[in-house]
Amino acid sequence: MKNDVTISASIVTYNDSERAPLTVKSIVENTKKYPLKLYVIDNASSDGTADLIEKSGDATVIRQTKNLGFGAAHNVVLGQELGKYHFVINPDITLNYDVISDVVEYFESNPDVVMAMPKILNTDGTEQKLPKEKPTFKRLYFGRFSDKVRAEYVWADKEITEPTEIKFCTGCFFCIRADAFKELGGFDKRYFMYLEDADLALKAKSLGKVMMLPQFSVTHAWERESAKSIKYLLIHIISSFKFLFKWRGKHK
């Protein structure tokens, strides 16, 4: 184990008693090379999520009295001890090998990289085609109905076989240098959920490269709640207008 480099990671949970403990277990069991400090910020779950994870002893659980949303809850760790590198991880992610250490070693060899994501896989092993370009009105709204627009947004027709710069780094799993995360003030808490990851990636580009690393992968049990729920769709729409207003005319 290389003790000169430390890692921290945060998971935000909200009624995730079935999947979050499995995510925590897969992280702890597979991260071997570097010391890891794992935080779980629980957004006032009512299903015992926090109790289950706390009982396992695998993570430091930070309980909230209300649902802060995604970004604001992850920002809670800014007041905690972070490693040199910090990982943001969804409670529906599974690690099958020591991908965290591999990503850290890539950062150690590439000091110009500030933020990066691995390849994200579906549970059947196929790649999830997630956004990689800056969100625009056309990509956010017409992309729901146009395969051509969506393909442009997620690079559906590109095969990424080597580390590549991107503009949108998914919030389901990424690594960021902790000093950069602090300097940027974490996520913009004005987004309750959705697009706070794209917002952070665009800000991070002022400090270094934002990359996709296809040589590494994690599995994501993606549910796409905004495509199935009116509630989450409305949250997505609200976040998109906040994002478009904030970034209008910037970083085209």
Tell me if 115 is assigned to some domain.
Answer: yes
Give the E-state strand segments of the chain in sequence order: 7-13, 36-42, 60-63, 85-89, 93-94, 113-121, 164-165, 173-177, 209-220
- CATH number of the CATH domain containing 213: 3.90.550.10
Tell me if 251 is assigned to some domain.
Answer: no
How many other C-beta atoms can be found within 10 angstroms of the C-beta atom of residue 192?
Answer: 16
d(CA 241, CA 244): 5
Tell me if 155 is assigned to some domain.
Answer: yes
Tell me if 2 is assigned to some domain.
Answer: no
Tell me if 1 is assigned to some domain.
Answer: no
pLDDT at 252 over 70: no
Residues recorded for the chain: 252
State residue 2's pLDDT score: 55
Tell me if 177 is assigned to some domain.
Answer: yes
pLDDT above 90: percentage of residues in the chain: 77
Q: What is the chain's mean pLDDT, rounded? A: 92
pLDDT digits (tens, 9 = 90+) for 182-240: 999 999 999 898 999 999 999 999 999 999 999 999 999 976 554 456 888 888 888 88
Higher-confidence residue of 26 and 229: namely 26
Tell me if 252 is assigned to some domain.
Answer: no
d(CA 252, CA 246): 13
pLDDT digits (tens, 9 = 90+) for 103-112: 999 999 999 9
pLDDT band at 241 (very low <50, low <70, confident <90, very high): confident
Per the structure, the complete domain to which residue 11 belongs is given by 7-246
pTM (2 d.p.): 0.92
pLDDT at 115 over 60: yes
Domain total in the chain: 1
121 close to 217: Cβ distance less than 8 angstroms:
yes
